[in-house]
C-alpha cells in the first residue's frame, strides 16, 4: 500500500493526519496550520535524532492538549497527529488511551509490513521532554484497557485455537458501553464501533497469515468481512460479523495446522490458491513445481486423498460460493472469471458438488 493510500485510510477511519518527515523537510512548514511552540518542534526533532535506528513507535505528549505518535525509520520518520487525550474542548481529534496501542500496531504494519511492534512511552526510554503533569500522562504503568486481551486474541488466532478465541470473544468490549476501547471517529457512534471492528479484523487477518493461512484465502475472507461491516447499521450486526470473521480465520488456521502434508503438496495448494482466476490445470501446477503431472498427482493423492484436478475444481467452486454471497457479480461473470468455460458447465459442476444449482446458493447459505 502506497503512503498516500495509508494517509487517506487513516484520515477516513480515524480523522487523523499522517506526515512523512525527511531531513530536508521543514517540520514547522509541514505543521504550519497549527500553533506550535518552537520547543514543541524541537522535542520531535530531538527524539528522531536520538532514536532513528529504532522502529518502535513512541507516544509523545507535547502538552496536556496535544500529542503525537512517532514512527522512527532510517532516513525519515512518520508522525501521526496531532491529537488529544484530554476531555477538554479541543479542535484536535480526540482519542482515548485504549486506542493508542491498536492504532499504532495497525499503522506500523501498514508502513513497514511487520507485526509485533510495541508502542513505547517517554518513560520507557527515560526521556524528560514532556511537561505534562503526571496525573494527565498516559504512562506505560497506567493500564491500557484491552491490551492484554488483544495480545491473547491475536496469539490464539495465530495458533489456531478456536475454543480460546471463542472464550476471549466473551469479553469483547463491543458488547459493553465502557471506556475500554478508544473513540476512533467523532462523526457517529456506529462509525466508531465499525472502525474498531475493521481494525480488529485487519489485525486478525495478519495473525492468521502468520499462523500459516494462505494470504489469498485470508484476504478473501477479510474483504468479505469488512464489506459486511461497512454495510452494517446496528451494533448487533457489527458484533456478529466481527465475531464470525475471527472464528472463521482461526478455524482455517487450525485446519492448516492439522494437515500432515509434504512441502511439495503445500506449494501446489498455495499456487492453486493464488491462481484461481486463471486457467489453472494440473499441468500448469506441475510446470511451476518442475515435476511431471503424474508425479504431482501421486504425491497429492497420497497427502490429500484427492487428485489435483479435483482439488482445483473444488477450490474454484468454493470461491464461486463466496462470490455469489457477495452479490456483486452475475452467475455468468462468476463462471467466466473462474474459468469454468460456460455458465451451463459451471451450473452442472456446482449442482453435482453441492446438490443444488448456483442460483439457489444464497437461500441455502442463509439457512
Most confident range (mean pLDDT) of 78-82, 102-106, 333-337 is: 333-337
- Looking at the structure, do residues 14 and 131 belong to the same domain, yes or no? yes
- Looking at the structure, do residues 119 and 8 belong to the same domain, yes or no? yes
- Looking at the structure, do residues 240 and 293 belong to the same domain, yes or no? no
Q: Is residue 57 part of a domain?
A: yes
> In Å, what is the CA distance from 344 to each residue of 12, 267, 350?
43, 32, 10
Among 258, 276, 305, the domain boundary falls at 258
Q: What is the CATH number of the domain that holds 50?
A: 3.30.450
Distance separating alpha carbons of residues 204 and 155, to the nearest angstrom: 9
Domain that holds residue 82: 3-136
- Looking at the structure, do residues 116 and 176 belong to the same domain, yes or no? no
Q: Is residue 226 part of a domain?
A: yes
- Looking at the structure, do residues 270 and 242 belong to the same domain, yes or no? no
141 has pLDDT over 70: no
Among 222, 243, 258, the domain boundary falls at 258
Q: What is the CATH number of the domain that holds 359?
A: 1.10.10.60
- Dihedral of alpha carbons 170, 176, 182, 186, sign: positive
- Looking at the structure, do residues 8 and 132 belong to the same domain, yes or no? yes
Among 241, 258, 275, the domain boundary falls at 258
Q: What is the pLDDT of residue 309?
A: 92
- Looking at the structure, do residues 131 and 21 belong to the same domain, yes or no? yes
Distance separating alpha carbons of residues 180 and 93, to the nearest angstrom: 18
- Looking at the structure, do residues 24 and 130 belong to the same domain, yes or no? yes
Q: Is residue 317 part of a domain?
A: yes
Tens digit of pLDDT for each residue in 83-126?
887 666 567 787 777 778 878 888 888 888 777 667 777 554 44
Tens digit of pLDDT for each residue in 198-243?
888 988 998 888 888 888 788 888 888 888 888 887 777 888 889 9
Distance separating alpha carbons of residues 58 and 328, to the nearest angstrom: 42
- Looking at the structure, do residues 202 and 127 belong to the same domain, yes or no? no
Distance separating alpha carbons of residues 158 and 38, to the nearest angstrom: 45
140 has pLDDT over 80: no
* Residues ≥6 apart with Cβ < 8 Å to 319: 220, 276, 338
Q: Is residue 141 part of a domain?
A: no
Q: Is residue 325 part of a domain?
A: yes
Please state whether beta strands 76-83 and 18-21 pair in parallel, antiparallel, or not at all (unpaired): antiparallel
Q: Is residue 300 part of a domain?
A: yes
Higher pLDDT, 291 or 217: 291
Q: Is residue 90 part of a domain?
A: yes
17 has pLDDT over 70: yes
Element (H, E) at 80: strand 76-83
Q: Is residue 142 part of a domain?
A: no
Higher pLDDT, 277 or 177: 277
- Looking at the structure, do residues 323 and 217 belong to the same domain, yes or no? no
- Looking at the structure, do residues 35 and 109 belong to the same domain, yes or no? yes
Q: Is the pTM of this model over 0.85?
A: no
Q: How many domains does the chain have?
A: 3
**C-alpha cell read off for 291:** 515435476
- Looking at the structure, do residues 297 and 216 belong to the same domain, yes or no? no
Amino acid at each position: 500500500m502506497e503512503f498516500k493510500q495509508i494517509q487517506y485510510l487513516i484520515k477516513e477511519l480515524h480523522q487523523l493526519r499522517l506526515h512523512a518527515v525527511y531531513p530536508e523537510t521543514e517540520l514547522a512548514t509541514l505543521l504550519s496550520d497549527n500553533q506550535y511552540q518552537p520547543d514543541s518542534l524541537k522535542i520531535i526533532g530531538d527524539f528522531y535524532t536520538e532514536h532513528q535506528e529504532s522502529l518502535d513507535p513512541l507516544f509523545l505528549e507535547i502538552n496536556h492538549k496535544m500529542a503525537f505518535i512517532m514512527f522512527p525509520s532510517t532516513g525519515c520518520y512518520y508522525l501521526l497527529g496531532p491529537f488529544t487525550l484530554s476531555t477538554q474542548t479541543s479542535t484536535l481529534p480526540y482519542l482515548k488511551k485504549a486506542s493508542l496501542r491498536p492504532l499504532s500496531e495497525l499503522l506500523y504494519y501498514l508502513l513497514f509490513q511487520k507485526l509485533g511492534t510495541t508502542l513505547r512511552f517517554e518513560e520507557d526510554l527515560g526521556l524528560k521532554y514532556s511537561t505534562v503533569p503526571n496525573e494527565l500522562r498516559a504512562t506505560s504503568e497506567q493500564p491500557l484497557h484491552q491490551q492484554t486481551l488483544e495480545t491473547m486474541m491475536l496469539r490464539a488466532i495465530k495458533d489456531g485455537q478456536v475454543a480460546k478465541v471463542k472464550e476471549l470473544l466473551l469479553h469483547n468490549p463491543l458488547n459493553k458501553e465502557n471506556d475500554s476501547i478508544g473513540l476512533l471517529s467523532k462523526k457517529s457512534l456506529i462509525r466508531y464501533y465499525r472502525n474498531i471492528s475493521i481494525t480488529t479484523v485487519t489485525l486478525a487477518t495478519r495473525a492468521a497469515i502468520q499462523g500459516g493461512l494462505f494470504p489469498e484465502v485470508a484476504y478473501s475472507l477479510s474483504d468479505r468481512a469488512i464489506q459486511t461491516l461497512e454495510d452494517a447499521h446496528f451494533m448487533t450486526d457489527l458484533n456478529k460479523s466481527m465475531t464470525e470473521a475471527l472464528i472463521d480465520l482461526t478455524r482455517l488456521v487450525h485446519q492448516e495446522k492439522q494437515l500432515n502434508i509434504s512441502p511439495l503438496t503445500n506449494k501446489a495448494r498455495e499456487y492453486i490458491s493464488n491462481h484461481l482466476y486463471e486457467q489453472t490445470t494440473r499441468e500448469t501446477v506441475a510446470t511451476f513445481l518442475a515435476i511431471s503431472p503424474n508425479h504431482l498427482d501421486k504425491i497429492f493423492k497420497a497427502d490429500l486423498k484427492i487428485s489435483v484436478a479435483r482439488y482445483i475444481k473444488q477450490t474454484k467452486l468454493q470461491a464461486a460460493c463466496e462470490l455469489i454471497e457477495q452479490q456483486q457479480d452475475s452467475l455468468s461473470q462468476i463462471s467466466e472469471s473462474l474459468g469454468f468455460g460456460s455458465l451451463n458447465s459451471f451450473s452442472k459442476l456446482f449442482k453435482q458438488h453441492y446438490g443444488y444449482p448456483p442460483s439457489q446458493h444464497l437461500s441455502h447459505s442463509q439457512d
